[in-house]
Chain A
Amino acid sequence: MREPTFFVLAALADRRKHGYALITDAEQLSEGRVHLKVGTLYAALDRLKQQGLVTGAGEEVVDGRLRRYYELTDDGASALRAEVARMQANAEQALSRLRLRPAPMAAHG
């Protein structure tokens, strides 16, 4: 799973969100690293919808602008969970190796 895809799914994890909210959320979650362009976001959403990981969750009109909401499907949630578990396992592996590292000596001589 690529980073933008991961953050779109992660942004949808808690509740349904519309396009702009997804862009700001992904930026926040990635600590400013991932700045999605609108074209790229909708391409990702189209792909995720096609894979059945995301689905439409209603629309509303605010200030004359259409907002379309998206939410995770059950498949989407388990895909995200699997990805997170994979990352977690990787992180834990690395951490356990770090724990095995001998404590730094105070000083030589």
Chain B
Amino acid sequence: MSTPSAGLEAAYRATLRWYPRGWRVDNEDAVVGTLLDVADAEQRTRPQTAELLNLAVCGLLRRIDPVLPAQAREVASAVAFACGAALSLTILLVSYLGPLARQIVPPWWVGPSDPAGALPYALWLIACVFAMAGHRRTARWSMVAVLASVAALAVLRSTTQVTYSLPSWIALAFMLSLAVMALIASPLVWRGTLGVASIAALAFAVFAGGAAVAGGFGGRYHPERWVFETVLSPSNVGVALVFALATVGILAALRLRVAAAGLAAATLPWAVLWFAGYFAEDVVGSLVSAAVLAGLTVVAASAVALWAWLLRSGIAVPRRLAHMVSAPAVWTAPILIALMVWGTRTANATWTTLPYWNAVVSVACYGLPIAVLTAAVVTAWESSRMRRYASTDQPVPATAYLARLSRRVWPTLVGSIAGYLVTLALLVQNSGVPKAGTPNLLVPAASLAVLLSAFAFGALLGRLCHTAIAVPTALVASYLWFALPSAQGASNPAWLNITGFGLPQSSFDFSFVPATGALLAPILLSVAVVATFALVLFLRRAVVGYAAGAVLVTAAVLVGNVLVAGIGQAPYAPRPVAELVCSGDATAVCLWPEQDAVDGARILNAVVEARVQASKNGLTLPDRVEASSSAFTAHQNADVSYLTSLPGPGASTQQIKTAYATSLLESISCGDATQTADAAWQALRAQSALTMLVGAGTTALLQKSTPLFAPDDGALTSLFAARQALDVGSIDNARKVLNSWRSETKKLCNSRPAA
């Protein structure tokens, strides 16, 4: 054999290492033979780059095959491609072409949107066009160009100071993962997804419709970041992920393996988006969380491996220990109680100064997400194990099944109730203020209903699938469903209330009492879930039970939406104004009884001081000041100024003055003056001015503000610069800023018909 041929053969064999070992043992010699035949025929002594690339890709796919078979890859690729197309079309139209076409030059936007940011989206649509036209190769290279443009933008972002005008890291991470997922199958399947165009059109129609309702594109510019922070906010994506994972679970249970694996893979880019958005605020925190998560996974996997080895090794495991380990409800119950108590203490810094009974009862619900997660996982575990035993035995009658399941999971139920009660006892003992009124017992009742529905959810999952699928699904789904809206409540309040995780916030302030809708909606949904479980268990045909359950749950979600929409999406309602207690002479300060009892004198003094300082600075304020909630008071009475968001008992004079200044701003506005972004910016400046005029320091306020929008003064390119522009500087300037805002607001209010 000649030397060149030997070199060629060595190159081919080296490239074939991309294939899995087992495959190479079977096929390597035959493939090398064919490759050499082809090279001979083409009179080559060197390998072609395209040939080697083809071998590498085919080898890699061969390795992926066992996890994600070819057909599943096609499903994932098609879904990713369609999602990317819809997103690209939307963002290009809304954030880049739309403003251009309408000649909107936003004066308040921090820096212009860099046209380079549009590149990945434009390239994606080009890939779309080529795929539709059947130009497979060009379509694939266009998609590779998407990857390249994302990489280039990432380099640009990390080397320039002007990052506000470029796509965010979240957007880049999402586009990168979507493009990689799209590339794992032939562009032929992209063309195959006839739905691409319709999904894109539909997505845009829904989006445009929503935007039109909210005020249309005419007056506002929606930067790309806006799309990722509102439409694709972590909580919205989280909710979508829950539904996707539930669908994966159902497909797996129906033994539609290809579809389940494909959909599971298709959710990965969305998981990246969720993760990136969730942790975008805090890079160090996200790294720490990832490290902790990885560490916990390693510890858990090691524990499972050790246990398995112990059982197999023949070493005698004490019977009692074996029994404990195989009964998760027993050992999770004490951990659960500890976590619930600890969670409330750390999550709620003001817990020792809670003002009244309703707040104590509500805040004690803080451990609910942990309890729900544990309940779902433990029940899914036990239920799926019973299913496995049942398959070898006679079918278990429903009542016997229920009795056996209850025997196995009762410690978790008792543990979660105990966790609530211990938290409540600690809160009552530590709040050093007199309690007023009677606790609203519907709050713990709703909490218990939600907990029971978690048991039913876990049991259903366990009946549907194998332990290895049921337990992780219960963990992830219940985390996303129950805990995520709690963490990200502000961006999805309706969801927070329907799932029941508004409960801890249903009465956090003197000015609020729990809203009936926020209590009824989760109870309704919980009843629907428990009813589904009962139907599946007792009906002769489980399928009918599932179908009826789906209808029940959907109806409960719909009715729940109506219930919480009726209360303005908040888990609380205003407290009757008649309960206010007034004191003071020239300045009348009216507070809630508990406030008045503990801090009345200090609040009165701070407000009087602030008013004196304000009048020195030429600002006349109403004589009467009332404690109130900003969300529910119309603030129409010009003779009264309202004290909103006043901190709990023991607040410093500075804090009281800042709260007073913030409230003054709301009292002056006519309710919805801050709806547009430039009005929001002006309001922030006015707030800064008011804080200065009443003699409270503005430093804390400026550090807290994170303006999304700011006027384009030419040099405003960062958050720091935006904060600097917020600072009004001198008293004289503060007066000017306030007066101009007042006259603008008055104009705006007068232009509206009276309510």
Contact A40 B58 (CB under 8 A): yes
Q: Any chain B CB within 8 A of the CB of A18?
A: yes
Total chain B interface residues with beta-carbon distance under 8 A: 24
Contact of B62 among A2, A19, A43 (CB under 8 A): A43
Chain A residues, Cβ within 8 Å of B316: none
Docked complex Cα distance between A23 and B33 (Å): 13
Q: Counting CB contacts under 8 A, is B133 at the interface?
A: no
Q: Given A37-B50, A42-B58, A43-B58: A65 and B38 within 8 A (CB)?
A: no
- Please tell me if A16 contacts chain B, counting CB pairs below 8 Å: no
- Of B24-32, B197-205, B679-687, the segment with at least 4 beta carbons within 8 Å of chain A is B24-32
If A38-B54, A42-B27 are given as contacts, then 9 extra A-B residue pairs at C-beta distance below 8 Å, sorted by A number, are A2-B188, A19-B33, A23-B38, A39-B51, A39-B57, A40-B58, A43-B61, A46-B62, A68-B33
Distance (whole angstroms) from the CB of B31 to the closest CB of chain A: 6
Nearest residue, chain B, Cβ from A18 = B34
Q: Which residues of B contact A43 (CB under 8 A)?
A: 58, 61-62
* A2-B188, A19-B30, A38-B51 as given contacts; A65 in contact with B57, CB under 8 Å: no
CA distance A38 to B50 in the complex (A): 11
Asked if A98 is at the interface (CB within 8 A of a chain B CB), the reply is no
* B59 CB within 8 Å of chain A: yes
Docked-complex contact B33 and A40, CB < 8 angstroms: no
Residue pair A20, B70 in contact (C-beta under 8 Å): no
Chain A residues with CB under 8 Å of B41's CB are 20, 24
**A65 contacts B37, CB within 8 Å?**
yes
Chain A residues closer than 8 Å to B61, beta-carbon distance: 43
Is the CB–CB distance between B36 and A65 below 8 Å? yes
- Closest CB-CB distance, B603 to chain A, in whole Å? 76
- Asked if B54 and A40 make an inter-chain contact with CB atoms under 8 angstroms apart, the answer reads yes
Q: Count how many pairs of residues, one from A and one from B, have CB atoms less than 8 Å apart in the complex.
A: 60
Instruction: Tell me if A41 and B34 are in contact (CB < 8 A).
Output: yes
* Interface residue? B35 (CB, 8 A): yes
The minimal Cβ–Cβ distance linking A84 to chain B, given in whole angstroms, is 22
| Best-buried of A20, A39, A40, A42 by chain B (most CB within 10 Å) | A39
Q: Which residues of B contact A83 (CB under 8 A)?
A: none
B34/A20 in contact, CB under 8 A? yes
Q: From residue 33 to 70 of chain A, which have CB atoms closer than 8 A to chain B?
A: 37-43, 46-47, 59, 64-68
Interface string of A77-96 (1 = CB under 8 A from B): 00000000000000000000
15 pairs from A and B in contact (CB 8 Å cutoff): A19-B30, A19-B33, A20-B33, A20-B34, A37-B51, A38-B35, A38-B51, A38-B54, A39-B55, A41-B34, A42-B31, A42-B58, A65-B37, A66-B30, A66-B32
Write the B183-211 contact mask toward A (1 if CB under 8 angstroms, else 0). 00000100000000000000000000000
Q: Is B468 at the interface (CB under 8 A from chain A)?
A: no
Which residues of A lie under 8 Å from residue B32 when comparing CB positions? 65-66
A47 to chain B, nearest CB (A): 7
Chain B residues, Cβ within 8 Å of A39: 51, 54-55, 57-59
Bound form: Cα–Cα A42–B24 in Å: 12
Are B38 and A20 within 8 A (Cβ)?
Answer: yes
Contact between chains at A67 and B57 (CB < 8 Å): no
In the complex, are the beta carbons of B50 and A68 less than 8 A apart? no
- With contacts A2-B188, A20-B41, A43-B62 taken as known, whether A38 is within 8 angstroms of B57 at the C-beta atoms is no
Question: Bound complex: CA of A47 vs CA of B50, how far in Å?
Answer: 22
The answer to whether residues A38 and B34 also contact, given A20-B41, A47-B70 and a CB cut-off of 8 A, is yes
Given known A-B contacts A37-B50, A38-B54, A40-B54, A66 and B33 have beta carbons under 8 A apart: yes
B1 at the interface (CB under 8 A from A): yes
- Whether the Cβ atoms of A67 and B50 lie closer than 8 Å is no
Q: Is the CB of B1 within 8 A of A64?
A: yes
Kindly state the interface size class of chain A when it binds its partner.
Answer: 20 to 34
B23 to chain A, nearest CB (A): 8
The complex places the Cα of A7 from the Cα of B59 at a distance, in Å, of 22
**CA A65 to CA B28, docked complex, whole Å:** 11
Hey, which chain A residues are within 8 Å of B62, CB to CB? 43, 46
Determine the main DSSP class of B at the interface with A.
helix
Contacts of A66 in B (CB 8 A): 29-30, 32-33
Q: How far is the CA of A42 from the CA of B65 in the complex (A)?
A: 14
Interchain nearest-CB distance for A32 vs B (Å): 14
Q: How far is the CA of A46 from the CA of B31 in the complex (A)?
A: 12
Residue on A with the closest CB to B37? A20
B33 CB to closest chain A CB, in angstroms? 4
Closest to A64 in B: B1
In the complex formed, the residue of A with least CB distance to B16 is A39
A-B CB proximity, top 5 nearest: A19-B34, A39-B58, A20-B37, A65-B33, A68-B30
CA distance A64 to B33 in the complex (A): 9
A57–chain B nearest beta-carbon distance, Å: 12
Q: CA separation between A58 and B59, bound complex, in Å?
A: 24
Task: Tell whether A67 pairs with B31 under 8 Å between CB atoms, given A20-B41, A38-B51, A43-B61.
Answer: no
In this complex, the member of B37, B41, B57, B70 whose beta carbon has the largest number of chain A beta carbons within 10 angstroms is B37
Expressed in whole angstroms, the Cα–Cα distance for A10 and B58 within the complex equals 23
Closest Cβ neighbor of B65 among chain A residues: A46
Q: Which of A23, A41, A59, A66 is most buried by chain B, counting CB atoms within 10 A of its CB?
A: A66
Cβ contacts B244-276/A at 8 Å (1 or 0 each): 000000000000000000000000000000000
Contact residues in B for A23 (Cβ distance below 8 Å): 34, 38
Q: Give every chain A residue within 8 A of B70 (Cβ-Cβ).
A: 47
Q: What are the residues of chain B within 8 A of A42 when measuring CB–CB? A: 27, 31, 34, 58
B140 to chain A, nearest CB (A): 14
Interface residues of B in 39-57 (CB under 8 A from A): 41, 50-51, 54-55, 57
Question: In the bound complex, how far is the Cα of B59 from the Cα of A67, in angstroms?
Answer: 20
Q: Please measure, in the bound complex, the distance between the C-alpha atom of A24 and the C-alpha atom of B42, giving whole angstroms.
A: 12
- Binary per-residue interface labels of chain B (2-40) against chain A in the complex, 1 for a CB within 8 Å, 0 otherwise: 000000000000000000000000010111111111100
Specify the chain B residue showing the minimal Cβ separation from A45: B27
Residues of B172-230 at the interface with A, using a CB-CB cut-off of 8 Å, are: 188
Q: CA–CA, A42 to B12, complex, Å?
A: 14
Give CA–CA (A23, B41) in the complex, Å: 11
Q: Which residues on the A side are within 8 Å of B59 (C-beta)?
A: 39
CB distance from A68 to the nearest CB of B (A): 4
Task: Tell me the complex Cα distance, A13–B507, Å.
Answer: 78
* B33 contacts across to A, CB distance below 8 A: 18-20, 65-68
Complex Cα distance, B50 from A37, in Å, reads 9
Whole-angstrom CA separation of A19 from B58 in the bound complex: 16
Closest Cβ neighbor of B188 among chain A residues: A2
Residue of B nearest to A63 (CB): B1
Q: Closest approach, in angstroms, between the C-beta of A69 and any C-beta of chain B?
A: 10
B55 touches A38 (CB 8 A): yes
Asked if A38 and B38 make an inter-chain contact with CB atoms under 8 angstroms apart, the answer reads yes
List residues of chain A with CB within 8 A of the CB of B36.
65
Chain B 583-621, CB-CB to A under 8 Å as 1, else 0, gives 000000000000000000000000000000000000000
B51: chain A residues at CB < 8 Å are 37-39
